[in-house]
Amino acid sequence: KAALRADDTLAHLGGDSFALLLTDIDAAQGCPALLDRVQAAIATPLTVAGSQLHATASIRVSLYPKDNADGDTLLRHADQAMFLAKEAGKNRYHLFDPESDRKAQCQRRQLERLRLALARGEFVLHYQPKVDLGDGRVIGVEALIRWQDPERGLLAPGAFLPYIEAVEAMERALGDWVLASALAQLEQWLHAGLQFSVSVNISAHQLMHADFVDDLQRLLERHPQVPRERLELEILETAALTDLPRAIAVMQRCAALVVRFALDDFGTGYSSLTYLRKLPVDTLKIDQSFVRDMLVDPDDRAIVDGVIRLAAAFNRHVIAEGVETIEHGLALQRLGCRLAQGYGIARPMPAEQLPAWLRDWQ
Protein backbone atom coordinates (compact mmCIF):
# COMPACT_ATOMS: atom_id res chain seq x y z
CA LYS A 1 0.00 0.00 0.00
CA ALA A 2 2.90 2.30 0.72
CA ALA A 3 4.00 2.04 -2.93
CA LEU A 4 0.58 3.09 -4.22
CA ARG A 5 -1.11 6.40 -4.54
CA ALA A 6 -4.02 7.56 -2.41
CA ASP A 7 -6.64 6.80 -5.09
CA ASP A 8 -5.39 3.34 -6.03
CA THR A 9 -7.16 0.25 -4.79
CA LEU A 10 -5.48 -2.91 -3.53
CA ALA A 11 -7.69 -5.97 -3.15
CA HIS A 12 -7.07 -9.52 -2.00
CA LEU A 13 -8.93 -11.74 -4.49
CA GLY A 14 -8.23 -14.97 -2.63
CA GLY A 15 -5.36 -17.40 -2.21
CA ASP A 16 -2.20 -15.86 -3.54
CA SER A 17 -3.86 -13.47 -5.93
CA PHE A 18 -4.29 -9.79 -5.53
CA ALA A 19 -5.69 -7.10 -7.77
CA LEU A 20 -4.57 -3.52 -8.12
CA LEU A 21 -6.92 -0.97 -9.59
CA LEU A 22 -4.89 2.00 -10.75
CA THR A 23 -6.66 5.03 -12.12
CA ASP A 24 -5.41 8.04 -14.02
CA ILE A 25 -2.25 6.42 -15.27
CA ASP A 26 -0.43 7.23 -18.43
CA ALA A 27 0.02 3.81 -20.02
CA ALA A 28 3.28 4.62 -21.79
CA GLN A 29 5.17 6.19 -18.91
CA GLY A 30 3.35 6.06 -15.62
CA CYS A 31 2.37 2.42 -15.68
CA PRO A 32 5.82 0.78 -15.92
CA ALA A 33 7.24 3.13 -13.29
CA LEU A 34 4.41 2.36 -10.90
CA LEU A 35 4.69 -1.39 -11.54
CA ASP A 36 8.43 -1.31 -10.93
CA ARG A 37 7.73 0.35 -7.62
CA VAL A 38 5.20 -2.33 -6.74
CA GLN A 39 7.61 -5.12 -7.74
CA ALA A 40 10.35 -3.55 -5.64
CA ALA A 41 8.02 -3.26 -2.68
CA ILE A 42 6.99 -6.91 -2.98
CA ALA A 43 10.62 -7.98 -3.31
CA THR A 44 11.58 -6.30 -0.02
CA PRO A 45 12.40 -9.11 2.43
CA LEU A 46 10.01 -9.49 5.35
CA THR A 47 11.00 -10.58 8.80
CA VAL A 48 8.41 -12.86 10.33
CA ALA A 49 9.02 -14.53 13.68
CA GLY A 50 12.74 -14.04 13.29
CA SER A 51 12.98 -15.52 9.75
CA GLN A 52 13.49 -13.59 6.58
CA LEU A 53 10.89 -14.25 3.88
CA HIS A 54 11.22 -13.37 0.22
CA ALA A 55 8.17 -12.99 -2.02
CA THR A 56 7.90 -12.52 -5.74
CA ALA A 57 4.92 -11.70 -7.93
CA SER A 58 3.93 -12.22 -11.52
CA ILE A 59 1.86 -9.29 -12.69
CA ARG A 60 -0.53 -9.21 -15.57
CA VAL A 61 -1.81 -5.85 -16.72
CA SER A 62 -5.01 -5.03 -18.52
CA LEU A 63 -5.58 -1.45 -19.66
CA TYR A 64 -8.82 0.42 -20.15
CA PRO A 65 -9.88 1.71 -22.68
CA LYS A 66 -7.27 -0.11 -24.85
CA ASP A 67 -8.57 -3.50 -23.73
CA ASN A 68 -12.12 -2.28 -24.13
CA ALA A 69 -14.01 -4.50 -21.68
CA ASP A 70 -16.15 -4.23 -18.57
CA GLY A 71 -14.72 -4.53 -15.09
CA ASP A 72 -15.19 -8.27 -14.77
CA THR A 73 -13.63 -8.92 -18.17
CA LEU A 74 -10.71 -6.61 -17.40
CA LEU A 75 -10.02 -8.68 -14.30
CA ARG A 76 -10.44 -11.91 -16.22
CA HIS A 77 -8.07 -10.73 -18.96
CA ALA A 78 -5.52 -9.80 -16.38
CA ASP A 79 -5.94 -13.18 -14.73
CA GLN A 80 -6.42 -15.50 -17.74
CA ALA A 81 -3.10 -15.01 -19.35
CA MET A 82 -1.24 -14.81 -16.06
CA PHE A 83 0.78 -17.79 -17.22
CA LEU A 84 2.50 -15.52 -19.75
CA ALA A 85 3.94 -13.42 -16.97
CA LYS A 86 4.83 -16.55 -15.03
CA GLU A 87 6.49 -18.11 -18.05
CA ALA A 88 8.55 -15.00 -18.56
CA GLY A 89 9.92 -15.56 -15.05
CA LYS A 90 8.99 -14.27 -11.65
CA ASN A 91 9.20 -10.60 -10.83
CA ARG A 92 7.80 -9.67 -14.21
CA TYR A 93 4.78 -7.89 -15.44
CA HIS A 94 3.04 -8.37 -18.72
CA LEU A 95 0.69 -6.07 -20.59
CA PHE A 96 -2.46 -7.65 -21.88
CA ASP A 97 -2.68 -7.60 -25.66
CA PRO A 98 -5.87 -9.13 -27.11
CA GLU A 99 -4.17 -10.45 -30.26
CA SER A 100 -1.15 -12.10 -28.65
CA ASP A 101 -3.44 -13.32 -25.88
CA ARG A 102 -5.65 -15.06 -28.41
CA LYS A 103 -2.59 -16.64 -30.04
CA ALA A 104 -1.12 -17.69 -26.72
CA GLN A 105 -4.39 -19.30 -25.67
CA CYS A 106 -4.71 -21.09 -28.97
CA GLN A 107 -1.14 -22.37 -28.66
CA ARG A 108 -1.74 -23.45 -25.09
CA ARG A 109 -4.87 -25.38 -26.07
CA GLN A 110 -3.01 -27.04 -28.95
CA LEU A 111 -0.18 -28.07 -26.66
CA GLU A 112 -2.55 -29.47 -24.07
CA ARG A 113 -4.24 -31.43 -26.81
CA LEU A 114 -0.91 -32.73 -28.12
CA ARG A 115 0.21 -33.73 -24.64
CA LEU A 116 -2.98 -35.71 -24.33
CA ALA A 117 -2.41 -37.23 -27.78
CA LEU A 118 0.99 -38.51 -26.67
CA ALA A 119 -0.43 -39.91 -23.44
CA ARG A 120 -3.31 -41.58 -25.30
CA GLY A 121 -1.07 -43.08 -27.96
CA GLU A 122 -2.62 -41.18 -30.85
CA PHE A 123 0.68 -40.78 -32.70
CA VAL A 124 1.62 -43.38 -35.27
CA LEU A 125 4.58 -43.97 -37.51
CA HIS A 126 4.19 -44.51 -41.20
CA TYR A 127 7.03 -45.98 -43.20
CA GLN A 128 8.18 -45.01 -46.68
CA PRO A 129 10.39 -47.43 -48.64
CA LYS A 130 13.81 -46.46 -49.98
CA VAL A 131 14.92 -48.51 -52.95
CA ASP A 132 17.94 -49.14 -55.12
CA LEU A 133 16.80 -48.26 -58.63
CA GLY A 134 19.57 -50.37 -60.13
CA ASP A 135 18.35 -53.74 -58.87
CA GLY A 136 15.01 -52.89 -57.27
CA ARG A 137 16.22 -53.89 -53.81
CA VAL A 138 14.43 -52.26 -50.86
CA ILE A 139 17.27 -50.94 -48.72
CA GLY A 140 15.22 -49.46 -45.93
CA VAL A 141 12.27 -47.40 -44.81
CA GLU A 142 11.96 -43.95 -43.31
CA ALA A 143 9.75 -43.56 -40.25
CA LEU A 144 7.47 -40.53 -40.61
CA ILE A 145 5.24 -39.44 -37.77
CA ARG A 146 1.49 -38.94 -38.11
CA TRP A 147 -1.17 -37.90 -35.65
CA GLN A 148 -4.32 -39.98 -35.75
CA ASP A 149 -6.60 -37.29 -34.36
CA PRO A 150 -9.99 -38.86 -33.53
CA GLU A 151 -11.70 -35.66 -34.68
CA ARG A 152 -9.68 -34.50 -37.67
CA GLY A 153 -8.28 -37.80 -38.94
CA LEU A 154 -4.71 -38.51 -39.97
CA LEU A 155 -2.52 -35.38 -39.76
CA ALA A 156 0.92 -34.85 -41.33
CA PRO A 157 3.79 -33.57 -39.16
CA GLY A 158 3.55 -30.07 -40.62
CA ALA A 159 0.24 -29.68 -38.76
CA PHE A 160 1.59 -30.37 -35.27
CA LEU A 161 5.39 -30.60 -35.09
CA PRO A 162 5.88 -26.81 -35.02
CA TYR A 163 3.81 -26.63 -31.79
CA ILE A 164 5.73 -29.48 -30.23
CA GLU A 165 9.10 -28.15 -31.25
CA ALA A 166 8.36 -24.95 -29.34
CA VAL A 167 8.42 -26.88 -26.05
CA GLU A 168 11.68 -28.72 -25.53
CA ALA A 169 10.37 -31.25 -23.01
CA MET A 170 7.59 -32.29 -25.35
CA GLU A 171 9.87 -32.44 -28.34
CA ARG A 172 12.11 -34.80 -26.40
CA ALA A 173 9.23 -36.94 -25.19
CA LEU A 174 7.93 -37.32 -28.72
CA GLY A 175 11.42 -37.91 -30.12
CA ASP A 176 12.01 -40.67 -27.56
CA TRP A 177 8.70 -42.24 -28.48
CA VAL A 178 9.55 -42.17 -32.20
CA LEU A 179 12.96 -43.78 -31.68
CA ALA A 180 11.58 -46.47 -29.36
CA SER A 181 8.67 -47.28 -31.67
CA ALA A 182 10.81 -47.41 -34.78
CA LEU A 183 13.32 -49.73 -33.11
CA ALA A 184 10.59 -52.02 -31.80
CA GLN A 185 9.12 -52.16 -35.30
CA LEU A 186 12.52 -52.86 -36.85
CA GLU A 187 13.06 -55.74 -34.45
CA GLN A 188 9.67 -57.16 -35.39
CA TRP A 189 10.48 -56.93 -39.11
CA LEU A 190 13.87 -58.56 -38.62
CA HIS A 191 12.15 -61.45 -36.81
CA ALA A 192 9.81 -61.77 -39.78
CA GLY A 193 12.84 -62.07 -42.06
CA LEU A 194 12.67 -58.61 -43.61
CA GLN A 195 16.22 -57.42 -44.10
CA PHE A 196 16.34 -53.66 -44.23
CA SER A 197 17.16 -50.62 -42.18
CA VAL A 198 14.98 -47.96 -40.58
CA SER A 199 15.68 -44.23 -40.74
CA VAL A 200 14.43 -41.95 -38.01
CA ASN A 201 14.24 -38.15 -38.21
CA ILE A 202 15.97 -36.45 -35.29
CA SER A 203 15.32 -32.80 -34.50
CA ALA A 204 18.19 -30.42 -33.77
CA HIS A 205 17.22 -30.00 -30.10
CA GLN A 206 16.98 -33.73 -29.68
CA LEU A 207 20.42 -34.33 -31.17
CA MET A 208 22.06 -31.60 -29.13
CA HIS A 209 20.51 -32.58 -25.81
CA ALA A 210 23.11 -33.63 -23.25
CA ASP A 211 21.48 -37.04 -22.68
CA PHE A 212 20.88 -37.95 -26.32
CA VAL A 213 23.71 -40.41 -26.83
CA ASP A 214 23.28 -42.12 -23.44
CA ASP A 215 19.54 -42.48 -23.99
CA LEU A 216 20.16 -43.87 -27.45
CA GLN A 217 22.66 -46.37 -26.11
CA ARG A 218 20.22 -47.55 -23.42
CA LEU A 219 17.51 -47.90 -26.04
CA LEU A 220 19.77 -49.94 -28.31
CA GLU A 221 20.70 -52.18 -25.38
CA ARG A 222 17.01 -52.98 -24.97
CA HIS A 223 17.07 -54.35 -28.52
CA PRO A 224 20.19 -56.52 -28.57
CA GLN A 225 18.85 -58.49 -31.52
CA VAL A 226 18.86 -55.47 -33.81
CA PRO A 227 22.15 -54.96 -35.67
CA ARG A 228 22.93 -51.33 -34.89
CA GLU A 229 23.95 -50.44 -38.41
CA ARG A 230 20.31 -51.04 -39.31
CA LEU A 231 19.39 -47.80 -37.59
CA GLU A 232 19.97 -44.58 -39.48
CA LEU A 233 19.37 -41.13 -38.04
CA GLU A 234 18.31 -38.35 -40.40
CA ILE A 235 19.53 -34.94 -39.36
CA LEU A 236 18.51 -31.79 -41.19
CA GLU A 237 21.50 -30.22 -42.85
CA THR A 238 20.46 -26.89 -41.34
CA ALA A 239 20.30 -28.44 -37.86
CA ALA A 240 23.80 -29.84 -38.10
CA LEU A 241 25.07 -26.43 -39.10
CA THR A 242 23.63 -24.48 -36.15
CA ASP A 243 26.35 -25.73 -33.80
CA LEU A 244 28.76 -27.66 -35.93
CA PRO A 245 31.45 -28.61 -33.38
CA ARG A 246 28.75 -29.93 -31.06
CA ALA A 247 26.98 -31.78 -33.87
CA ILE A 248 30.24 -33.41 -34.91
CA ALA A 249 30.99 -34.49 -31.33
CA VAL A 250 27.52 -36.00 -30.81
CA MET A 251 27.53 -37.72 -34.19
CA GLN A 252 30.96 -39.19 -33.55
CA ARG A 253 29.76 -40.65 -30.26
CA CYS A 254 26.75 -42.13 -32.08
CA ALA A 255 28.97 -43.47 -34.81
CA ALA A 256 30.92 -45.28 -32.08
CA LEU A 257 27.61 -47.04 -31.32
CA VAL A 258 27.62 -48.03 -35.02
CA VAL A 259 24.56 -45.91 -35.72
CA ARG A 260 24.62 -44.25 -39.15
CA PHE A 261 23.67 -40.73 -40.21
CA ALA A 262 22.10 -39.12 -43.24
CA LEU A 263 21.98 -35.38 -43.88
CA ASP A 264 18.35 -34.64 -44.71
CA ASP A 265 17.14 -31.93 -47.10
CA PHE A 266 20.69 -31.63 -48.37
CA GLY A 267 21.30 -28.59 -50.54
CA THR A 268 19.12 -26.25 -48.49
CA GLY A 269 21.68 -25.43 -45.82
CA TYR A 270 24.81 -24.31 -47.66
CA SER A 271 27.25 -26.77 -46.10
CA SER A 272 30.78 -25.72 -46.81
CA LEU A 273 33.05 -28.44 -48.11
CA THR A 274 35.16 -28.25 -44.98
CA TYR A 275 32.09 -28.97 -42.85
CA LEU A 276 31.06 -31.79 -45.07
CA ARG A 277 34.45 -33.40 -44.72
CA LYS A 278 34.20 -33.22 -40.93
CA LEU A 279 30.63 -34.44 -40.43
CA PRO A 280 30.50 -38.20 -39.84
CA VAL A 281 27.58 -38.84 -42.19
CA ASP A 282 27.21 -41.81 -44.52
CA THR A 283 24.54 -40.41 -46.76
CA LEU A 284 23.48 -37.15 -48.36
CA LYS A 285 19.78 -36.93 -48.98
CA ILE A 286 19.06 -34.60 -51.89
CA ASP A 287 16.23 -32.26 -50.95
CA GLN A 288 12.98 -32.98 -52.73
CA SER A 289 12.62 -29.40 -53.95
CA PHE A 290 15.55 -29.92 -56.35
CA VAL A 291 14.38 -33.36 -57.41
CA ARG A 292 10.84 -32.20 -58.12
CA ASP A 293 11.84 -29.71 -60.81
CA MET A 294 14.99 -31.36 -62.10
CA LEU A 295 13.27 -32.46 -65.32
CA VAL A 296 12.19 -28.94 -66.24
CA ASP A 297 14.61 -26.61 -64.45
CA PRO A 298 18.25 -26.79 -65.58
CA ASP A 299 19.41 -25.08 -62.35
CA ASP A 300 17.76 -27.70 -60.16
CA ARG A 301 19.15 -30.41 -62.37
CA ALA A 302 22.61 -28.88 -61.97
CA ILE A 303 22.21 -28.89 -58.19
CA VAL A 304 21.14 -32.53 -58.19
CA ASP A 305 24.08 -33.37 -60.42
CA GLY A 306 26.40 -31.39 -58.18
CA VAL A 307 25.26 -33.11 -54.97
CA ILE A 308 25.65 -36.53 -56.59
CA ARG A 309 29.23 -35.72 -57.61
CA LEU A 310 29.95 -34.20 -54.22
CA ALA A 311 28.80 -37.39 -52.53
CA ALA A 312 31.01 -39.44 -54.85
CA ALA A 313 34.03 -37.20 -54.21
CA PHE A 314 33.58 -37.47 -50.45
CA ASN A 315 32.83 -41.15 -50.63
CA ARG A 316 29.31 -40.85 -49.24
CA HIS A 317 26.10 -42.49 -50.34
CA VAL A 318 23.50 -40.32 -51.98
CA ILE A 319 19.73 -40.75 -52.02
CA ALA A 320 17.08 -38.65 -53.73
CA GLU A 321 13.81 -37.89 -51.93
CA GLY A 322 10.59 -36.80 -53.61
CA VAL A 323 10.95 -39.14 -56.59
CA GLU A 324 7.43 -38.89 -57.95
CA THR A 325 7.67 -40.47 -61.41
CA ILE A 326 9.58 -43.09 -63.40
CA GLU A 327 11.10 -40.24 -65.42
CA HIS A 328 12.60 -38.75 -62.28
CA GLY A 329 14.01 -42.14 -61.35
CA LEU A 330 15.56 -42.66 -64.78
CA ALA A 331 17.07 -39.18 -64.86
CA LEU A 332 18.56 -39.70 -61.39
CA GLN A 333 20.05 -43.01 -62.40
CA ARG A 334 21.62 -41.44 -65.47
CA LEU A 335 23.23 -38.86 -63.19
CA GLY A 336 24.59 -41.63 -60.99
CA CYS A 337 22.10 -41.67 -58.11
CA ARG A 338 20.74 -45.18 -57.58
CA LEU A 339 18.98 -44.76 -54.26
CA ALA A 340 15.55 -43.18 -54.25
CA GLN A 341 12.49 -42.54 -52.14
CA GLY A 342 9.23 -40.95 -53.22
CA TYR A 343 5.58 -41.24 -54.12
CA GLY A 344 6.61 -42.73 -57.48
CA ILE A 345 7.85 -45.76 -55.56
CA ALA A 346 5.54 -45.77 -52.56
CA ARG A 347 3.78 -43.36 -50.24
CA PRO A 348 4.45 -43.59 -46.52
CA MET A 349 2.25 -46.41 -45.16
CA PRO A 350 1.32 -48.04 -41.84
CA ALA A 351 3.77 -50.77 -40.80
CA GLU A 352 1.22 -53.54 -41.32
CA GLN A 353 0.85 -52.65 -45.01
CA LEU A 354 4.54 -52.96 -45.73
CA PRO A 355 4.79 -56.77 -46.16
CA ALA A 356 2.03 -56.70 -48.80
CA TRP A 357 3.69 -53.79 -50.59
CA LEU A 358 7.00 -55.67 -50.60
CA ARG A 359 5.35 -58.71 -52.19
CA ASP A 360 3.88 -56.60 -54.99
CA TRP A 361 6.85 -54.29 -55.55
CA GLN A 362 8.60 -54.72 -58.90
Min dist. Cβ of residue 188 to ligand C2E (A): 18
Q: Which of 57, 144, 235, 311 binds ligand C2E (CB under 6 A)?
A: 144
Min dist. Cβ of residue 252 to ligand C2E (A): 21
Q: Which of 232, 237, 265, 305 binds Mg ion (CB under 5 A)?
A: 265
Query: How far apart (Å, rounded) are the C-alpha atoms in residues 257 and 268?
Result: 28
What torsion do the CA atoms of 36, 41, 43, 45 make, to the nearest 10 degrees? 160
Query: How far apart (Å, rounded) are the C-alpha atoms in residues 303 and 289?
Result: 11
Evaluate whether 122 touches 160 at the Cβ level (below 8 Å).
no
Evaluate whether 5 touches 23 at the Cβ level (below 8 Å).
no
32 binds, among Mg ion, ligand C2E, none (CB under 5 to 8 A by kind): none
Q: Which of 343, 349, 353, 361 binds ligand C2E (CB under 6 A)?
A: 343
Which one, 85 or 291, has the nearer CB to ligand C2E? 291
Q: Is 201 in the site for Mg ion (CB under 5 A)?
A: yes
Which one, 267 or 322, has the nearer CB to ligand C2E? 322
Min dist. Cβ of residue 145 to ligand C2E (A): 4
Q: Is 97 in the site for ligand C2E (CB under 6 A)?
A: no
Q: Which of 232, 264, 300, 305 binds Mg ion (CB under 5 A)?
A: 264
Which residues, 252 to 281, sit near ligand C2E by CB under 6 A? 264-265
Q: Is 181 in the site for ligand C2E (CB under 6 A)?
A: no
Please report, for residues 71, 126, 255, 347, the alpha-carbon distance to residue 292 in angstroms, rounded to integers and kept in the order given: 57, 22, 32, 15
348 binds, among ligand C2E, Mg ion, none (CB under 5 to 8 A by kind): ligand C2E
Q: Is 157 in the site for ligand C2E (CB under 6 A)?
A: yes
Residues within the interface to Mg ion (CB under 5 A)? 201, 234, 264-265, 321
Residues within the interface to ligand C2E (CB under 6 A)? 128, 144-145, 156-158, 161, 178, 201, 203, 234, 264-265, 288, 321-324, 342-343, 348
